[in-house]
Structure 1
Amino acid sequence: MFHRNSLCEGRHNCMFVLAFGYRTKPLQSIHIPKDEPVKKSDSKTILMTAFEPSGDALGAMAAKGVFARDDSVRIVGLGGKEMEEAGVELLAHTSDEAAMGLHALGEVMRVKQLVDKVRKWLGENEAPLHVAVDSPAANFPVCKIARSHSMKVIHLAAPQMWAWAPWRIKKMRRLTDHVMCLLPFEPVWFKERGVDATFIGHPAMATSEAAPLQLKGDSPKVLLLPGSRSSEIKANLPMQLRIVELLKQEFPTASACIACREEDVPRVQPLAGEVPVVGDKLHESLEWADVALTTSGTVSLHVMQHAVPMIGMYKVGFLSRIGAKLLLNTPYRLLPNLIAGKEVVPEFIPCGDATRAIARSVIQLLRDPSALETQRRILREEASQYAAHHPSEEAAAIILKHV
């Protein structure tokens, strides 16, 4: 089989025979050394890598958007159940538990093995684009490999360089062509530093109609959101439950509910006592709630989207707290506060027991109708920045533009 240029050259040889009565030098056969494998080339293959459950969800969202626009595209990479169900061909399943802080040290070898799988695949296959989903520490080595194969690189979910280690922007400029941002203030920050970026909205901010949960109990109704990682649940839920007990001393009719992923119910239930636990009913729970006790992370965006007044809390270890004080460039951890650029939601990041301090803050909020309404109003205003965005469609358009 000849390449297209070879076919053209063969046609010219025939013309010379007819016109001048002789043949040019025949084409030499193409020799491929045995120790150099032939790469499988496909201009519509995309490499997508996600290392955490949150990245798996984002990757699935983007993949669905891509396939809806062009079902001839092939996406191969690292991810979890959601990406696989969306149609991504997985080279390996990433872990169900995201590593955070010092716990990430045990993940180094696992991540190295996953990166080596990608390296091997790229040694045998060609793809024009790498989509790095969240997890910059794990994804940067993959981005570097992709660059060595002359691939374009897009980041889905901006590395939070605006929060800590801003000097990493030099690496970002080398290893990315575009950043798809989930927070409205991020594109300006990146563009000012020479990195192309676009705000695409956030899947957590999609409008959702849900009927309130039908649970026994009167107001105030307190929703507990302890997080999704085992370490988060163990650190935050016991303190949240103690806060509920203190609230009941002030509000005897108060009721509570714990909302989590269905897969987390077996871990949450043994700690919950008599407080009901609901799985995969976050929107229904938020429609039910008068106030929420939430950990930091994406879940706080869901709370903001429903305009439920909240208190933010995230218990950390002593070393993590010291590290945060030394490295963080922002006074806030909770996403609604970061988006607003001010403290709309009281937030607590204790390394010890802050039960009484947080309970006092909740009691103060519940006793002040004006404060409750002010927080609801600001949450609605900040959430309105997402109203015109459709992240799956916008992510797909940017990805396909770079293929």
Structure 2
Amino acid sequence: MPTNLHRVFISAIEPSADAHCAALVRRLLQVAPTIEIIGIGGPKMAAAGCRLIADATERGQVGLGAIRQVWYFRRLFGQVEALIEGNRPDIVVVCDSPSFNFHVARIAKARGIKTVFYVAPQLWAWGAWRAKRLRALCDKLCCILPFEKGWFEARGIPATFVGHPMLEQMADLCGNMKSYQDLTKRGPRIAIMPGSRTSEIRSLWPAMQQIAIKLRQVYPSADFTAVAVNKTWQDRLQASQDRDLQCHYSIDTVYQTAKASDLALVASGSATVEVAAAGCPMVVMYQTNRIAWHLIGRWLVRPRYFCLVNLIADRPLVREFVPYFHSIDPIVEHTLSLLADRLTLERLSRDLIETVLPLGQKKASVETCRIVLEGLGLPGPLQGAFTSL
């Protein structure tokens, strides 16, 4: 093992990025325990061995809601810049959140430091013109969706498909295919997943509760479980729970809850991949500012589908209500039609698993660890260590 100290800086400001990078931190320290890892992250990265300068995971937001956080993040940029000046890292890894991490990468590149982007920014969905900027900021792009590699390489950005981090700990996905033969003899088990960002939860949690209440009017024995990203958000969900809703709560158990559920109401985002891996049919929702959507959003967002599962399948595998502005009645109607059709539910369960299976062919944390070590100039003596990962 090399005895010289190498320093890695990691930036992750959302709960999902905290989880992805925690696995990466564990891999790096497992293979090269002399590496010093510093960064912005959350409790999972800290537990894995990263020394945090700040925890911004509860402030990660998208859209207009982020405006309220401008001053916080400006101060955070100052902290990052001071740390990079005073404790120069050998490589900087940024994970997701391009609106924040493009700035972090710019700080690094201005000082001649190599950068790795873990989770490609979704420029193929909107903002393709930013590819030129990404090309200037990124030494290596770690893609978690198979089709991304070709898209970015065609624009001159060195990219590698590393696998999806959410699937690397999941075994025997084919065993998750559901049977609904007994559904008519019991109440349906329905998961409610309003997301991990403040803006998502504020817009989706009230609507999802009203949908659940209407579903229970048809299925009085229906059982609902809401998944919160952490204890803080569980407390907030419970505090704003509608008094007409009876609901269980679970923390950070998207995959496990989906495995135990017949159907899920899910915020559009990375959770849909976990729900698909669990073989759980879903209805996908997202909400945004109506004025901003009609003035700007509908002209900028280009893909045929919003849901990641539909993008991977390249067909409308699950129904998307993205965005929805009017009544929840069409969502309720579609959900009821699914619950009444056992064969469609079973087909969906099978198709969802088959769609995401290719994402788990590689271990994302292992592949990204290898790329980081190569960036540090350490691959030679450490290659043998990967055989045990």
Is 2:261 the counterpart of 1:289? yes
| Counterpart residue identity of residue 117, structure 2 | H
The structure 1 residue matched to 2:273, chosen from 287, 301, 323, is 301
| Counterpart residue identity of residue 327, structure 2 | A
Task: Describe the SS at the equivalent of 1:371.
Answer: helix
The structure 1 residue matched to 2:102, chosen from 112, 137, 140, is 140
Q: Which residue of 1 aligns with 2:347?
A: 374
CA distance, structure 1, for counterparts of residue 226 and residue 86 of structure 2 = 48
CA distance, structure 2, for counterparts of residue 233 and residue 126 of structure 1 = 37
State the 1:283 CA deviation: 3.5
Change (3 A) 1:256 1:142: closer
1:150-185 alpha-carbon deviations (Å, 9 max, x no partner): 111110110111011101111111111110111121
1:240-272 alpha-carbon deviations (Å, 9 max, x no partner): 222223223433443322222341211111315
CA distance, structure 2, for counterparts of residue 282 and residue 123 of structure 1 = 39
Task: Describe the SS at the equivalent of 2:166.
Answer: helix
| Counterpart residue identity of residue 365, structure 1 | L
Is there any run of 5+ residues in structure 2 with no aligned partner, and where?
179-184, 377-389
Task: Describe the SS at the equivalent of 2:71.
Answer: helix
CA distance, structure 2, for counterparts of residue 59 and residue 319 of structure 1 = 35
Change (3 A) 1:320 1:341: farther
The structure 1 residue matched to 2:111, chosen from 136, 149, 152, is 149
Is 2:132 the counterpart of 1:173? no
| Counterpart residue identity of residue 163, structure 1 | A
Q: More relative contact order in 1 or in 2 (CA 8 Å, sep 6+)?
A: 2
**CA contact 2:268–2:286 (8 Å) conserved in 1:** yes
**CA contact 1:101–1:320 (8 Å) conserved in 2:** no
CA distance, structure 2, for counterparts of residue 156 and residue 175 of structure 1 = 13
| Counterpart residue identity of residue 320, structure 2 | E
Change (3 A) 1:159 1:284: closer
The structure 1 residue matched to 2:62, chosen from 100, 124, 128, is 100
Moved more, 282-291 or 185-194: 282-291
Q: State which structure, 1 or 2, has the greater radius of gyration over its C-alpha atoms.
A: 1
Moved more, 96-105 or 267-276: 267-276
Is 2:224 the counterpart of 1:256? yes
CA distance, structure 2, for counterparts of residue 64 and residue 320 of structure 1 = 41
CA distance, structure 1, for counterparts of residue 345 and residue 278 of structure 2 = 14
Q: Which residue of 1 aligns with 2:181?
A: none
| Counterpart residue identity of residue 333, structure 1 | F
**CA contact 1:53–1:97 (8 Å) conserved in 2:** no
Q: Which residue of 2 aligns with 1:267?
A: 236
CA distance, structure 1, for counterparts of residue 132 and residue 155 of structure 2 = 9
Q: Which residue of 1 aligns with 2:380?
A: none
CA distance, structure 2, for counterparts of residue 235 and residue 74 of structure 1 = 40
Q: How much identity, in percent, do the aligned residues show?
A: 31
Q: Which residue of 2 aligns with 1:233?
A: 201
Q: Which residue of 2 aligns with 1:318?
A: 290
Change (3 A) 1:59 1:246: same
The aligned runs of 1:164-203 (5 Å cut-off) are 164-203=126-165
1:91-148 alpha-carbon deviations (Å, 9 max, x no partner): 2332413121011112222222212222222222332211111111211222122112
**CA contact 1:219–1:290 (8 Å) conserved in 2:** no
CA distance, structure 2, for counterparts of residue 121 and residue 191 of structure 1 = 32
Q: Which residue of 1 aligns with 2:249?
A: 277
Q: Which residue of 2 aligns with 1:4?
A: none
Q: TM-score, normalised by structure 2?
A: 0.86
Task: Describe the SS at the equivalent of 2:47.
Answer: helix
Aligned residue-pair number: 358
Change (3 A) 1:282 1:145: closer
Q: Which residue of 2 aligns with 1:126?
A: 88
**CA contact 2:61–2:198 (8 Å) conserved in 1:** no
State the 1:83 CA deviation: 1.5
CA RMSD in angstroms comes to 2.3
CA distance, structure 1, for counterparts of residue 323 and residue 365 of structure 2 = 36
Change (3 A) 1:93 1:247: closer
1:333-373 alpha-carbon deviations (Å, 9 max, x no partner): 21101111121010102443432100111112222233223
State the 1:71 CA deviation: 0.4
The structure 1 residue matched to 2:170, chosen from 207, 211, 224, is 207
Is 2:210 the counterpart of 1:242? yes
